[in-house]
Structure formats: C-alpha cells, structure tokens
Amino acid sequence: MIAAGLLLDELATRSVAEVTGVPCSFLTPLINKVASDPSVRYLPATHEGEAVAIATGAWLAGATTCVIAQNSGLGNMVNPLTSLNHPCRIPVPLIVTWRGEPGRPDEPQHELLGAVTADLLTMVGVSHSLLPPDPEGLGPVLDQGWDAMRGRELPHAFVVRKGTIAPEELSEPRPRPSPHSRVVRLGDPGRGQAPCRIEALESLLGAIDDQTAVISTTGKCSRELFTLADRPQHFYLVGAMGSASAVGLGVARHSARRVVVVDGDGAALMRLGTLAAVGAQPPLALTHVLLDNQVHDSTGGQRSLAAGTDFPAVAAACGYPRVFDCADLAGLRDALREAANEPGPCFVYARIQPGSLEPLGRPTLHPSEVARRFRSFVTRSDRAEATPRPG
C-alpha cells in the first residue's frame, strides 16, 4: 500500500495546488488526509461533474487541481469531460476508484460500471492508468499520466483499486460559521417590463473594468456576449450546461482577479448544488449574476422551473454573504458596482424578458483558442490599473 501523504507529496511535485471531489470508501484514506491536513487545499464538491468544472476553472487560472471520485461518479463527469474539457482541450488529473472490478466482490450497484470503467474512460477521450500499490512504482505512473496530459491536452485518470492507499485517521476541522446573508433590493419594480438579455449584458459590460474575468453560461447568453464584445477577458461555455459557476469558482480560487459569472435560470437549476459550493467559500472575489427569463431560450423558449424558485432566497440560504435582487437595469448596474467592492462571493439576480437578438451568430473562435486566450489574460502579470468602462 502507499501512504496518502506520499501520494499528495507526489502530486504537489507535479504542481497540484488543490484537491476537489466527492468521497468514496476506496478513497477514505486520501479523503481523510486532505480533509484533515491544513496544508492541503481541499474543496468538497456536491457532485463529480462539478469537481471537474472547478478543476477546469483552476487550469484557466494557471493552477492544477486534482479531482477525486468514485467510478460511479463518471456518470456525472461525462458531460463536462465531453462538452467542456474536450472541445477546450483542457487537461485535469483525475483519481477514480474501481468499484465493481471484475473478479472482486463488491455491491451489486457497482457491477455494471466496474465492468466498463476502462471502456467508458476511453470512449470519452480520457486516457488512464492503474495507480500502483507500491511506493516505488508511484512516481513513474504519475509521470506517464502527466506526459499524456501534456501531449493530448485532455484529462488523464489514475484508477485506484481497493486497498491501494493505506488507512488514515480523520481529524476534520469544524466548518466555519455561515455568514449572515443579506438580500438587498435595488431598482424600481414599478418601471415597467423587465429588460431583455442584451440590455442586461450591455449594462454588465458597462459596469465592469478591463481586468475582470467573465465566464458566461452556454447558449444564447454566450452568443449575445460574443456579439456585443469579444474580449480576451471572456470565457464562453459552449457546452457543459450548468457548469459556469463551478468554472468561475475554480478561476476565483486561484486568481487575484475579480471574476463575474453570467448564468441563466435553466442552467443554474441544472446544477443548483453549486450555489452551496460557492456560498461555502471564505471571502472570494466572485460575483455570480443570474439572468432569469424563466425559459430555455436556446431550444425554442420552453418554460424552465424558475417560476417557482426564489433564487435570491436560495443564494442567501446557501451562504452568499451579499445577495442583490435587481428590479431594473439601474438596479443591476448599481448591484454590479457594489459587488465589485465587496469581499464576495456575491449573488446578483435580475429578471429579464425571453427572446434574443435575431439573427444571432456564434463565437467564431474555436473553444480551445478561447480557453488559451482567457488563460493568458487571467495569468498575465502586467495587469494595468483597472478602469471602469463607460456605462
């Protein structure tokens, strides 16, 4: 068996700055070590796909985050692996357990996935290797995985059998007390109908400065943002619906820049647990903007479930210290400017009208180009003094 501390030391020598994921009994020693050791940056995730998106955001900020998960969590990981990491060519290291390994007794729910784990990883473009149980073999296997990530620009999975990692005691610190959340209502609700999304995006572009990183959700939100202004500070999600806030969280944890996530109601509902992951953070320069038109605009305007959801109340309940509920464009602009001066994370909510620009194009840059341009923007050291854009 290998010691959890040795594995973490080997990961650290390969520039792994953080571990995120969801527990598995095969990984109990590793989870216990990262959760108990204050020298290890550990970020619990609500599901495995969220962990992949967080690690992807870390890569965009120039850092390496390792995802740990049970192989049953591959089902949650398939979407970001195939529609975010693959088109953007973003490598992240994965440590995945092998529950249900053929020939080894396990619970019946792991039988099918255990039989197809290697095939599934191959099908979704993830190279993989078996993590050895002996300390002498650990370094070479990790080196092979890192070589594969450098060469393919895609994730690599290190598969862990039961008993590979030696037992480790858990001494997890208590969670920090939840901050007092305050919902601030801005704007005049009596001014008439809600603005359209393009007006909200124009207001956002006028309220942020040239040094703010912007991550926009998939669909017409990213397409309209690209149409208004294509800038190196923008990262457009072309897939991985619901993952924008997790990507933004990964960027914000590893960058000194202020980060703004532009989300939609359908996307936020798809990964609602990520609000808890963001809200649990210590002060973080992240502003999560949710534009709610209560429909799935990109697929024809079918209603989402947003009509029965109080998003500001959900964000407050999830621990965002400051929540803004905006009744109009003036309120949205005020909220964005206030949020820029708050420690964060902040949540900014605005109702908008359904519909979009017609005709509406799509980003003309390949997602891998957008990712590398954005990474260069986030990580460059010669940051000019931030200047607000004209409103």
What pTM was estimated for this model as a whole? 0.94
* Over residues 68-75, mean pLDDT: 96
Quote helix, strand, coil % in the chain, to nearest 5. Answer: 45, 20, 40
Is the confidence at residue 117, as pLDDT, over 50?
yes
What are the CA-CA distances from residue 73 to residues 97, 98, 118, 136, 302 (Å)?
Answer: 10, 11, 14, 29, 29
pLDDT digits (tens, 9 = 90+) for 121-169: 999 999 999 999 999 999 999 999 999 999 999 999 999 999 999 999 9
Is the confidence at residue 188, as pLDDT, over 90?
no
Q: Compute the C-alpha angle 96/101/105, nearest 5°.
A: 125
Element (H, E) at 292: strand 286-292
CA-closest candidate to residue 160, choices 37, 18, 31: 31
301 touches 314 (CB < 8 A): no
Q: Which residues are within 8 A (CB) of 192 and not within 5 positions of it... i.e. 6 or more apart?
A: none
Residue 381 — very low, low, confident or very high, per pLDDT cuts 50/70/90? low
What is the token pair recorded at 343?
């420690």
Is the confidence at residue 262, as pLDDT, over 60?
yes
Residue 80 — very low, low, confident or very high, per pLDDT cuts 50/70/90? very high
Is the confidence at residue 28, as pLDDT, over 60?
yes
What are the CA-CA distances from residue 62 to residues 16, 91, 130, 265 (Å)?
Answer: 11, 12, 27, 29
DSSP letter for each residue of 47-112: SHHHHHHHHHHHHHTT-EEEEEE-GGGHHHHHHHIIIIIHHHT---EEEEE-TT-TTS---GGGHH
- Give the span between the Cα atoms of 60 and 64, in whole angstroms: 9
* Over residues 320-341, mean pLDDT: 95
317: Cα within 13 Å, side-chain hemisphere = 8
- Give the span between the Cα atoms of 323 and 336, in whole angstroms: 11
Per the listing, tokens 């030696």 go with: 166
329 touches 49 (CB < 8 A): no
**Phi then psi dihedrals of residue 107, to 5 deg:** -70, 150
DSSP letter for each residue of 200-217: HHHHHHHHSBTT-EEEE-
Residue 176 — very low, low, confident or very high, per pLDDT cuts 50/70/90? confident
**Phi then psi dihedrals of residue 266, to 5 deg:** -65, -40
DSSP letter for each residue of 351-381: E-BS---SS-----S-HHHHHHHHHHHHH-S
Treating both helix axes as pointing N-terminal to C-terminal, what angle do 135-152 and 4-13 enclose, rounded to 10 degrees?
40
pLDDT of residue 382: 42
Q: What are the structural domains, with CATH classification, of the chain?
A: 4-160 (3.40.50.970), 182-379 (3.40.50.970)
What length is written for the chain?
Answer: 391
Distance of CA 327 to the CA centre of its chain: 28
Q: Which residues are within 8 A (CB) of 350 and not within 5 positions of it... i.e. 6 or more apart?
A: 194, 195, 200, 289, 290, 291, 292, 326, 331, 332, 335
pLDDT digits (tens, 9 = 90+) for 363-379: 999 999 999 999 999 99
pLDDT of residue 383: 47
* Over residues 104-120, mean pLDDT: 95
What are the CA-CA distances from residue 18 to residues 35, 39, 54 (Å)?
Answer: 11, 10, 10
pLDDT digits (tens, 9 = 90+) for 212-260: 999 999 999 999 999 999 999 999 999 999 999 999 999 999 999 999 9
